[in-house]
Amino acid sequence: MKKNPVIPYAIIAVIGILAVIIISVVGIDQRQAIQDAEENGGEQTEQSEEGEGGGETAGGDGDAVFQNNCAMCHGSDLASGSAPNLTEIGSKYSQEELAQIVQEGIGNMPAQSQVQGEDLDALTQWLSEKQ
């Protein structure tokens, strides 16, 4: 008896299609969670800071904004990422210049237009203190 060689490929195709559907459903749930967080104006960030034992509010907010938006490239310690070291960025740029850089981008850094309002102020204040 000869086995039909199409059956293993059909099984693999069905498994692949199911995987794509499952990943899509998970992505839709994440999109909704992100939209809810944006509508709440960052309340989730404030709650997580309280859970860590508090601390300086403005400094904590700036650090949290950095960790959520910048640390992937600049590193959580401001120095170990693939992007430039920011440990002394406050000695190079004013808070206003930092805000412009965050909003418009500079060099290879893309604009971070999702950082606005109080988050932008907290982030640039926090970065301007790094001297």
List the binding residues for heme c: 70, 73-74, 109
Amino acid at 4: N
Please report, in range form, the residues annotated as the binding site: 70, 73-74, 109
* Residue type present at position 48: S
Note whether 112 and 105 are within 8 A (CB).
yes
> How many helical (H) and strand (E) elements, i.e. helices and strands, does the chain have?
6, 0
- The percent of the chain in helix, strand and coil, each rounded to the nearest 5, is 65, 0, 35
Element (DSSP H or E) covering residue 19: helix 6-39
Please answer whether residues 111 and 103 qualify as being in contact, where contact means their C-beta atoms are separated by less than 8 angstroms. Answer: yes
Three-class secondary structure of residue 126 per DSSP: helix
